[in-house]
Amino acid sequence: MDELLENHWHHLPIAEVRQILEVHADGLRDLEVRHRLERFGPNQVTAVRQRSAMLRLLAQFNNPLIYILLASAVVTALLKGPVDAIAIALVVVVNALLGFVQESRAEAEIESLRRMVTTEATVIREGERKRVPSAELVPGDLVALQSGDRVPADLRLAEVRELHVDESALTGESVPVPKDLGPLAVDAPLAERFDMAYAGSVVTYGQARGLVVATGDGTETGRIAKLVGSASPLETPLTRKIAHFSKVLLVGIVALAATAFIVGVLRRESWAEMLIAAVTLAVAAIPEGLPAVVTITLAIGVRRMARRRAIIRKLPAVETLGSTTVVCSDKTGTLTRNEMTVVRVQAGGETFELEGSGYEPSGEVRRAGQPLRPGEGSALEECLRAGILCNDTQLERIGERWQVQGDPTEAALRVSAAKLGLARPEALARFHRLDEIPFESDRQYMATLHTDGDVRRVDLKGSVERVLARCTHALGASGQALELNAQAVLAQAEALASRGLRVLAFAKKVLEADRAHLTHEDVAADMVFLGLQAMLDPPRPEAIAAVRACRSAGVRVKMITGDHPLTAAAIARELGLEGSGQAITGRELERLHERELIDVADRCSVFARVAPEQKLELVEALQSRGHVVAMTGDGVNDAPALRKADIGVAMGITGTDAAKEAAAMVLTDDDFATIEAAIEEGRGVFDNLTKFIVWTLPTNIGQGMVILAAVVLGLLLPILPVQVLWINMTTAVFLGLALAFEPKEAGIMARPPRARDTPILTAELVTRTLFISALLLVAAFGVFEWEQSVGEDLASARTAAVNVFVLVQGFYLFNCRSLTRSVFSVGLFSNLWAVGGLITMIAAQVAFTYLPILNHLFKSDPVRPLAWLWALLASLLGVLFVGLEKWVRGRIRKRRPRRPLRKSRVQHA
């Protein structure tokens, strides 16, 4: 028993498994169950220990920008009193609480995984059949399975009767897997271990008994839970850029404040006064409204995405989508419908194509591109009828969706027949079933016996090779029996299979009228071949358009699935994935060194038979190449990669709880096309954040430069700390927030993704920011000195300087609504928030200037009308300069010859 967790159970004969587990044919004794439960623990996935709520809350303050704000609040409280400090502190606290709430909702994936193995199970103990909670299962327990059961633990199958298990949530297989007794090769991948049944999978057909070989954390589901817990989420491009920007800002503020203090002391000024000046400069340079605007802008993006059926669970994920360069998508249920569909039928020497997809029984049947007319296609009708007679699956409509009870493959056969007007209830009413031979994996066929009046009809379906071996004739196009050309049929089947289609063959036979039972000898020979039905899990039509749109936006789409390589490659070709000629398998990935893996991950687009940990490795490999990776998925096997990716995207309808809880975004419509819409919204969010920073920085830099200039020149401060707070907070609320509501610019999806290493402010934007800052320095300082020179008192002169800052910022706001286009091309009134914000800000500034209570609180004083004119002229000068700069740069861009698109250094597979 010591080597229990080290055995390759699928590779061992069942007798050896029984010996290792020390279990008898009648199951474990109750005493032995208790001992093993104490030794191995309950059959539950152990939750990863999470940080306490207090630590998560404190972590929200671990940001350089927050350090600046906290320091400024403390210094302001010490030097100027608590009122000014409270305003700054409130911004910090609100920002931290928003982050805390988001993170608290994001750590539930382990609990959802635990729920997957806490069902009830049927066990045989001491020869008796019992129902027990799955948490009480132990290694060595003999578990009985039947159709509809969820597998409660990892089982080595000991007895199998036509067992089919849906493992799509674990392996990505699009159809239920038939099981047998093995043993198998030691290196058989998870999706091909046909003698195993894994915890969390669902029995769709048949019965079996299996020995428990792993419980709780030892199961494949438990192993994935560990991967989820170890895959800590990365910082997003936005948080990285904001953190870097904050560090640069921190260094700049400290340097300026220190310079002001040192220069003042060297000029023999009072060190206490210079300390106040340095603190004033620091407060002036801090963009207090930035954290709040970042949070609000992201929240607006969340609301917009919700209207487009994308639920954001983590705020920074909004912007991350806009920076995405690669979307790694699961196939089954994400790019495809997870509904098997017959797309082609070969019958009577003719080829028929079936339109429609999924289980919706609608769509034309075409021959040579033309719709089939009623009464045509006798051989086709017989082939489709065999598909619904030799069939045990129930298909019913519940609400807007069709639900399958049984095998999805058989459901597809029912739908294909319905498209020709053949319904199963009417068929069974005419052809009453008398007996059947159920499908078994070793025989690879199913047969049913029906009565049609005095005639006994046998219908057979199964693998092409097994059915052909029992046929001597084939049904012709007009219903006549012809000599069978088996080689031609095999060639047709191989051609269909090479396109990734699952192919089934059908045959029939007439028996004596008095037959009531069916034997294997009855279907051993003399059958009439009816045709082939080829099916696949089709791609979503909207996914094809979405992939095309992503490519035009410079976003590469990669398929990572546990399905068969041929099937994956076929779906990839239909989707139009770049370089979809072949699929790289998990076994091939295993043989690659780290550098080779990174190269293959970057250049290839289709990966099949991939294990959960390999999905994680592929995401990490792409990230190492500098890609911003979005990972989509719906199964348990996708959860670790969803969490590790820069943004995980889960399916809301078909997705498992584990996938939803691991993801940063959930699609409520399971539509891959929604990702394209979310990428568009994400780009708009990043644009608006950049616009806010470009708008707010000149005020902070300009205020700092004004104070520094006053210290260096030995003059009075043109603005006071309390006035600095007035400017920063009121303009951020009344003006800056309008940029959060700015509509997306035209052509936003025609440009490539923003490179990961591109700073928030490009050289062009830095130049513009420095000019506006210099304009504020000259205008505010000039107006302050001029007003004093004409006899205005100090308070009035400072009020005039404050008005310069506010009006320049107000008019400059409209220049920032687009970073490259003029305000007139954007539309002067296309953002009414900006118009309303400017009007409100001017009204607030008039109150700041003339209202006595505000004069008292902010040390302001009424100004003469000419002072307003100086501020207005400075504002118009800024508008004209930025407009001229945009025009010149636009002309240069138009004249600059376009560079041809760079070809990838590595050819795509």
Catalytic residue IDs: 330
Which residues contact residue 120 at a Cβ distance below 8 angstroms, ignoring those fewer than 6 apart? 131, 132, 133, 134, 152
- One-letter amino acid at 497 equals A
Burial (CB count within 10 angstroms: exposed 0-12, middle 13-18, buried 19+), residue 129: exposed
CA–CA separation, 387 and 522 (whole Å): 19
What are the two backbone dihedrals, phi and then psi, of residue 529, each rounded to the nearest 5 degrees?
A: -70, 130
CA–CA separation, 645 and 807 (whole Å): 44
Cis peptide before 743 (omega within 30 of 0): no
Cβ–Cβ under 8 Å, residues 172 and 637: yes
CA–CA separation, 490 and 495 (whole Å): 9
Residue 62: half-sphere exposure toward Cβ, Cα within 13 Å: 7
Q: How far apart are the first and last CA of the chain?
A: 46
CA–CA separation, 569 and 579 (whole Å): 10
Where do the DSSP E strands lie in 732-887? Answer: none
| Nearest by Cα to 879 from 816, 832, 830 | 816
Cβ–Cβ under 8 Å, residues 452 and 507: no
CA–CA separation, 197 and 200 (whole Å): 9
Cβ–Cβ under 8 Å, residues 708 and 783: no
876-to-775, 808, 810 alpha-carbon distances in Å: 11, 8, 11
Cβ–Cβ under 8 Å, residues 482 and 476: yes
- One-letter amino acid at 896 equals R
- One-letter amino acid at 273 equals E
DSSP 8-state symbol, 479: S
| Nearest by Cα to 711 from 204, 176, 268, 223 | 268
3-class SS of residue 127: coil
Report residue 749 as tokens.
């999806």
Report residue 799 as tokens.
């009020």
CA–CA separation, 730 and 844 (whole Å): 8
CA–CA separation, 881 and 760 (whole Å): 22
Q: What is the CA radius of gyration of the chain?
A: 35
CA–CA separation, 799 and 861 (whole Å): 6
Burial (CB count within 10 angstroms: exposed 0-12, middle 13-18, buried 19+), residue 713: exposed
DSSP 8-state symbol, 341: E
Which residues contact residue 86 at a Cβ distance below 8 angstroms, ignoring those fewer than 6 apart? none
CA–CA separation, 588 and 422 (whole Å): 45
Beta bridge partners of 342: 535
63-to-247, 294, 375, 607, 721 alpha-carbon distances in Å: 9, 14, 74, 39, 24
Report residue 235 as tokens.
């910082």
Residue with tokens 């989420």: 233
CA–CA separation, 543 and 337 (whole Å): 10
Where do the DSSP E strands lie in 259-407? Answer: 310-312, 326-329, 341-347, 350-354, 365-367, 370-371, 394-398, 401-405
Report residue 597 as tokens.
């893996």
Residue with tokens 């025009």: 887
